[in-house]
Amino acid sequence: MKEIILVRHASSEKAAEGKDMLRKLLPKGWEEARNVAFLLSKAQKRIDLIITSNAVRAVETGDAFQSAAYKNTTRIVEKTLFSGGKQEYLAVIKALEDTNNTVLLIAHNPVLEEVVAYFCGCSISKVDFPKASVYAFKFDCDHWKDVGSEHSILTLFIKRSHIQKLVEKPDNQVNKHNN
* pTM given for the model: 0.89
Please give the backbone phi and psi of residue 49, each rounded to the nearest 5 degrees, phi first.
Answer: -155, 140
**DSSP per position, 47-112:** -SEEEE-SSHHHHHHHHHHHHHT-TTSEEEE-THHHH--HHHHHHHHHTS-TT--EEEEEE-TTHH
Express each pLDDT in 41-84 by its tens digit: 988 889 999 999 999 999 999 999 999 999 999 999 999 999 99
Express each pLDDT in 100-111 by its tens digit: 999 999 999 999
Spatial distance between the Cα atoms of 156 and 136, rounded to a whole number of angstroms: 5
- Can you give the residue ranges of every domain in the chain? 2-178
Express each pLDDT in 104-136 by its tens digit: 999 999 999 999 999 999 998 899 999 999 999
**DSSP per position, 110-174:** THHHHHHHHHHTS-GGG----TT-EEEEEESSSSGGG-SGGGEEEEEEE-HHHHHHHHSPPHHHH
Identify the pLDDT of residue 177.
38
Is CATH 3.40.50.1240 what the domain over 2-178 is classified as, yes or no? yes
Spatial distance between the Cα atoms of 9 and 131, rounded to a whole number of angstroms: 6
